[in-house]
Amino acid sequence: MSGTAFDALTQEELDAWHKLRANNPLLDSPYFHPGFAAAVHQAGNPVQVHVGRGPTGEVESLFPVHRDGAVLRPVGWPGADFQGPILAPGTRFDPARLLGGGVSTLEFDHLLELADDFQPWITGSRPSPYVDTTGGLDGYLARASKSGKDNMGQARRRTAKAEREIGPIRFVADSLDEGDLAKVIELKRGQYAATGAKDYFAEDGRRSLMTDLLRTRGTDFAGILSTLYAGDQLLAAHFGIRSGAVLHWWFPVYDPAHAGLAPGWMLLRELVMAAPQLGFARIDLGRGDDEYKRRAKTGETPVAQGMVTRSSARRALRAARESLVTAAKDSPLGPQLRRVVRKLRTIKR
């Protein structure tokens, strides 16, 4: 199965992408929309799409990836929180077909379980939490855990406190302010530096990707920036992507000067309240160990890590690495080992 540059796909292949995705509810995340692959490709990270066809020539699968030498990785790597081929439910997809022609490995770290054929190549799985926002805040509170309800109640009281002590609260659910987007990136880079995480925005192309996504409008696929101000002070903001009824929570930030207010919860509460007007039924929070995700979630989806390779040594090394990461996370010294875990996850494989 050979790869085709994204911008060389035919109209037939793009139409098949939309049709296959529409017929598979598991693919409702914006990461599976061709608009995401198009934006990443346009931002300077070349995307090639492996197109699989059936016996009569019809398109039955598409898998957008990046090629780095002999290694393939899913589109958007390392910033894609859901990964996998575009196909109809029950369709077979042998990932080993992607090997050859100089390609020795396919890596994945947020694989949605779309095809059973990936099972032999999976080395681990972790939960990716989500928030069901059907019915807005009232609907959420009816489904939330006690912790989720308590934190939403605290967010309401802290919002009132911020208004009294700082200034009028202003929430913009879908902002087009590129200056605020620049603040999100600046705050996120500060967070990466403070925690020892690899700086996602160190590459210029990723910053331009955010701007291009913000300028993409509509409900089928778009970037979405949400901001929460008290007076003239930005308390918290979030930049993510949407497709239809799904918002993906991608880059949330808050001003450390207002950390005592837990402004991230304040922002999340505002978004849950606004969800019906925005057309969202679910906010995917993405895989992660953050406590607020555990408290806020109403459900979770497993995503898998692993690699497809004919090298048993590479597979063993990958499995050992995943085991070490899991052991570090489960250790009583977990909080002290987070920097180690982050470094292990960002080692070039």
pLDDT single digits (tens) 156-183: 999 999 999 999 999 999 999 999 999 9
* Torsions phi, psi for 177 (to 5 deg): -75, 105
Residue among 135, 60, 56, 126 at smallest CA distance from 92: 60
What's the confidence (pLDDT) of residue 26?
Answer: 96
What's the confidence (pLDDT) of residue 219?
Answer: 87
**Model pTM score:** 0.90
Q: Residues 190, 191, 195, CA angle at the centre, nearest 5°?
A: 120
* Six-digit token string for 110: 């947020």
Distance from C-alpha of 126 to C-alpha of 184, rounded to nearest angstrom: 27
DSSP 173: E
Q: How far apart are the first and last CA of the chain?
A: 23
pLDDT single digits (tens) 211-224: 999 999 988 999 99
Q: In the structure, what pLDDT confidence band is assigned to residue 336 with cuts at 50, 70 and 90? A: low
**Share of residues in the chain with pLDDT > 70 (%):** 89
User: Contacts by 211-218 with C-beta closer than 8 Å and gap 24+?
Assistant: 211/178, 211/181, 212/39, 212/42, 212/43, 213/39, 213/239, 213/241, 214/176, 214/178, 214/181, 214/239, 215/176, 216/35, 216/39
pLDDT single digits (tens) 274-305: 999 999 999 999 998 899 999 999 999 999 99
What's the confidence (pLDDT) of residue 319?
Answer: 57
DSSP 76: T
Host H or E run for residue 125: strand 122-132
Distance from C-alpha of 150 to C-alpha of 160, rounded to nearest angstrom: 16
**Contact present, 228 and 263 (Cβ < 8 Å):** yes
**Contact present, 254 and 266 (Cβ < 8 Å):** no
How many other CB atoms sit within 10 Å of the CB of residue 160?
Answer: 11
